[in-house]
Amino acid sequence: MKLNEQASSIAPRTDAARQAVLVLEDGTVFRGKGLGAFGQTLGEVCFNTSMTGYQEILTDPSYAGQIITFTFPHIGNVGTNEEDTECRLPRCRGLVLREDVTSPANWRARGSLDRWLDDRNLIGIAGVDTRRLVTRIRDRGALRGCLAFAPDGGYDVAHLRRAAMHWPGLEGADLTGEVSCVEPYEWTEPPWPINAGSGQAQFPDCHVVCVDYGAKRNILRSLAGLGCRVTVVPARSSAASILALRPNGIVLCNGPGDPLATSVFAVPVIRELLTSGLPIFGICLGHQLLALALGARTVKMHLGHRGGNHPVQDLECRRVEITCQNHGFVVARESLPAELEETHTSLFDGTLEGLRVKDRPVFSVQFHPEASPGPQDSHPLFERFTNLMRQ
């Protein structure tokens, strides 16, 4: 199997061989119980501090190329269902857990997490000292790792470490090709009451084009729920093809990888879209790409933001919002040109969390307003964007 391939199933699992291993590039080894599919996978080992929403996290396209460590110990306890997904197939490389997955205990559950992982060719490992692992990431920054789950439980640790060391990492990587749609499509599904099933947006009065760098479905639902007709286009769409759809506004969606690598094709398009005068809303990677298009720069963080408990302050009204975040790169505040104004800042580490263009209806945020950790602290950002279109 190629080193950068996703894990794949090999043979039916037996109780006699359940051991899996995670080997970091610095030689640290974590052993535990294997979950999901057999195979071997490589990625950047990160951690997420959320206490809920593990299915949404695992299906967030922004996790492409990453192995997710959950700091909350009880993952899998509410099972899985068909509704709580952010994309059709998960793009993360694997997951690391403290406790073993228990039987589902929730009225919405339709299956176990272990079976869900196996069906989607994802490798997991449980029984790991996640506190030790997170401390290592905290001190040394994001580390490359190799996660393996073999039918016979046998591992060549030295080989796995070499594989991790030779994996190129996320810096300099454009991963939008792994997660973006391949052709435009219409999205009509708004948010729905729990277990009531999806519906269809009624009487949309604004047309929004969402550039799919790895869009989460709940961004699309949030827009449809506010009366928008939503068209999703591939990441490499030209400005001419986007404007030919005659949108009232444009959303630059989230996505994985290094924004500087993605900017090679995305920034010229965004600069042309900026001349249209249309309202533009950037989210996460879209926020970073917008900043690059306007002359700022981005840098890789020593420790990324991933979780549902990140306090961010709106600098205009001084309001504090509890936000959901998932990013390992950030816009450098000192690089902002005169036309850009900072609107939000992180109360964790003081990093830049939001921007607006002073003389145009263009703004962006680093966090995810479609998520609900607050639970709805950041939803007004979508209302702000739709109001700009209606004006």
State the catalytic residues. Answer: 284, 368, 370
| Count of other CB atoms within 10 angstroms of residue 74 | 15
> CA-to-CA distance for 5 and 1, rounded, in angstroms?
7
Structure tokens at 201: 């947006």
Residue 240 burial by Cβ neighbours in a 10 Å radius (0-12, 13-18, 19+): exposed
Structure tokens at 195: 């277990």
In 3D, which of 210, 198, 230, 235 has the Cα closest to residue 85?
Answer: 198
For 384, list phi and psi in degrees, rounded to 5.
-60, -45
Is residue 62 marked as binding?
A: yes
Find residue 346's DSSP bridge partners: 312
| Count of other CB atoms within 10 angstroms of residue 259 | 28
290: Cβ–Cβ under 8 A, 6 or more apart, which residues? 252, 270, 280, 282, 355, 362, 364
> CA-to-CA distance for 48 and 43, rounded, in angstroms?
15
HEC string for 140-200: HCCEEEEEEECCCCCCCHHHHHHHHHHCCCCCCCCCHHHHCCCCCEEECCCCCCCCCCCCC
Query: Do the Cβ atoms of 63 and 47 come closer than 8 Å?
Result: no
Is residue 106 marked as binding?
A: no
Is residue 145 marked as binding?
A: no
> CA-to-CA distance for 229 and 208, rounded, in angstroms?
6
> CA-to-CA distance for 357 and 218, rounded, in angstroms?
25
Is residue 328 marked as binding?
A: yes
Structure tokens at 64: 């492409």
Is residue 255 marked as binding?
A: yes
| Residue list for the binding site for L-glutamine | 62, 255, 257, 285, 288, 326, 328-329
| Residue list for the binding site | 62, 255, 257, 285, 288, 326, 328-329
